[in-house]
Amino acid sequence: MIIVMKKGAEQKEVDAVIQWIESVGYQAHVSKGVERTIIGAIGDEREKVRLKAAEDMPGVEKVMPILQPYKLASRETKDGDTIIQIGDVAVGGPKCVVIAGPCAVENEEQLLQTAHAVKKAGASMLRGGAFKPRTSPYSFQGLGEEGLKILAKARQETGLPIVTEVMSAADVELVEAYADVLQVGTRNVQNFALLKAVGLAKKPVLLKRGMMTTLEELLMSAEYILASGNEDVMLCERGIRTFETAMRNTLDISAVPVLKEKTHLPVIVDPSHAIGKWRFVLPLAKAAVAVGADGLMVEVHPDPQHALSDGPQSLKPKKFARLMEEIESIATIVRKDGVS
């Protein structure tokens, strides 16, 4: 249920409603807008009729049901968009954020070279996998903690916040110690133990859509994280599996405006994994910015032909710099402050 406070309601009235919500066994989630405060009461749906009694409390304007199954992710429970602050980077704000870097951390030289290149081109965060979920058990699986240490060194040298994947609940504490953003990959989008674990973490989460996940299922996965206490969740559209074989996946570009209508959470697009071929990454990146994506995640490698993971979809630094230049003109039209 949503409890809408009256315009000008006093803080003591808001506090009283929160205390009452918790006293009847629900969790209170507060969203303060410019004019009104909205309090989401989250809990057992079978008992929600009890919450109607809040209409008689001082300062309460009305009590409404939350129509969507994803309560905390829904726009119904929050006034405005969620903006996630990661160092100096604001995801979901006026600028289109660009996260760039290699699929996998292979060695220190490779990562530092890439980090400095994407920083120079204007990227705002650095991506790189220390733990790699691979289709084949014989493929490179990542450097583990050694990769995390290399990522930390890259952050120290460039100032770029680090985005890296965590694959199991047991690894959350380790990855959180090094990373600025915890990525939950497409294969783990419904790994509910992992979702709960990153929900307890203190770092923002980048949640990738599964290859065959509906938008509602994606939002329900986000709900697991939000319900566990972590409010800083970014959604990532990275292509879905269809009957088409001309590309690695099919980028669901329509997911961006649909998600922006349904949820207050920021929406990122990963054109690299969607298309699987570097020469098509730029046009997809342009399309993503044009339809209102809050950011892009792009794979960049100094020597894609010898990359240990996803070389065919990785841009060389010069091509990435061109991408940054070309999306700027689109971003300045669609978004207030362009690209960061």
Instruction: Please name the residue ranges forming H helices in 10-103.
Output: 11-23
Does residue 151 share a domain with residue 54?
Answer: no
What's the whole-model pTM score? 0.89
* Secondary structure (3-state) at 133: coil
Same domain, 24 and 119: no
User: Region 232-260: what's the mean pLDDT?
Assistant: 96
Q: How many CB atoms lie within 10 A of CB 175?
A: 25
Task: Enter the tokens of residue 13.
Answer: 């009235």
- Nearest CA among 258, 272, 268 for reference residue 236: 268
What distance in Å separates the CA atoms of residue 176 and residue 172, rounded to the nearest whole number? 6
Please report whether residue 302 resides in a domain. Answer: yes
Same domain, 226 and 116: yes
Average pLDDT over residues 137-145: 75
Specify the pLDDT at position 160: 98
- Say if 305 falls within a structural domain: yes
pLDDT surpasses 80 at 137: no
- Transcribe 199-240 into DSSP letters: HSSSS-EEEEPPTT--HHHHHHHHHHHHHTT---EEEEE--B
Report the percentage of the chain scoring pLDDT > 70.
96
Helix or strand (DSSP H, E) at 125: strand 125-127
Q: Are 51 and 111 contained in the same domain?
A: no
Q: Identify whether 101 is part of a domain.
A: yes
Provide mean pLDDT across the span 158-162.
98
Q: Are 211 and 186 in contact (CB under 8 A)?
A: yes
- pLDDT confidence of 324, banded at 50, 70, 90? very high
Shared domain for 60 and 109, answered yes or no, is no
- CATH code for position 60: 3.30.70.1140
User: Which domain does 6 fall in, by range?
Assistant: 2-65
Rounded mean pLDDT of 276-283?
96
Question: What CATH number is given to the structural domain containing 122?
Answer: 3.20.20.70
With a pLDDT cut of 90, the percent of the chain lying above it is 74
Mean pLDDT value across the chain: 92
The mean pLDDT of 278-290, rounded to a whole number, is: 97
Residue 304 reports pLDDT greater than 70:
yes
- Residue 138 binned pLDDT confidence (cut-offs 50, 70, 90): low
| Averaged pLDDT, 230-249 | 95
Q: Are 335 and 94 in contact (CB under 8 A)?
A: yes
pLDDT at 139: 67
Domain for residue 12, yes or no? yes
Asked whether residue 20 is assigned to any structural domain, the reply reads yes
pLDDT grade for 33, boundaries at 50, 70 and 90: confident
The helix/strand/coil state of 297 is strand
pLDDT classification of 44: cutoffs 50, 70, 90:
confident
